[in-house]
Amino acid sequence: MKKYLIVGLGNIGEKFTSTRHNIGFKILDEVAEEHNVTFETDKLGDIAIFKFKGRVFVLLKPSTFMNLSGKAVKYWLQKENITIENMLIVTDDVNIDFGVIRIKAKGSAGGHNGLKDIQEKLNTQEYARFRFGVGGNYSKGRQADFVLGEWNKEETSQLIERMPLTEKAITSFGTAGLANTMNTFNGK
């Protein structure tokens, strides 16, 4: 049975729960809820595992904080014996309009410290990433405040509408493949 590691990037702790930077955790919570599994604390992160259409999905929310995510990612790839081709990193992106999904097969970290650490620890940029647009509505030099800020009321209500689509994109990655998933969900 093929296994997939789906990593949601975020920061642990109550004060980060509703921040834009934690969209990776929020999306994985949606996936876990849809598949009736709960996260359990394990080494370097919280883990939830489910089977869907003959595939095993291992959901990981690293407990290493965003900028040190690579250590947890590398550990769980090795522990679960999952190839890098079967890994998807879910993260926020300030360069994409709010709510828009962009899935890519590879690429640079684009200034994202979580992705930068993963690339350093895995020694490659060749891994799939699922970027969820959080918009770029911040003043020059205020990016950290923006991504660590909480969603406003309008964004919160729109997020509720967007979450089911994110779950479908993630399960599609494991069942339909990366290329089909990109064609179906990019820009939505």
CA distances from 174 to 33, 82, 111, 143 (A): 18, 12, 27, 33
CA distances from 93 to 50, 80, 143, 146, 168 (A): 27, 28, 11, 11, 19
Q: Among all residues, which ones are annotated catalytic? A: 21
Please give the domain boundaries of the chain with CATH numbers for all domains: 2-185 (3.40.50.1470)
pTM of the entire predicted model: 0.94
pLDDT in tens, the chain (188 residues): 899 999 999 999 999 999 998 999 999 999 999 999 999 999 999 999 999 999 999 999 999 988 999 999 999 999 999 999 999 999 999 999 999 999 999 988 877 888 999 999 999 999 999 999 998 878 787 888 888 889 989 999 999 999 999 999 999 999 999 999 999 999 88
Q: Are 70 and 122 in contact (CB under 8 A)?
A: yes
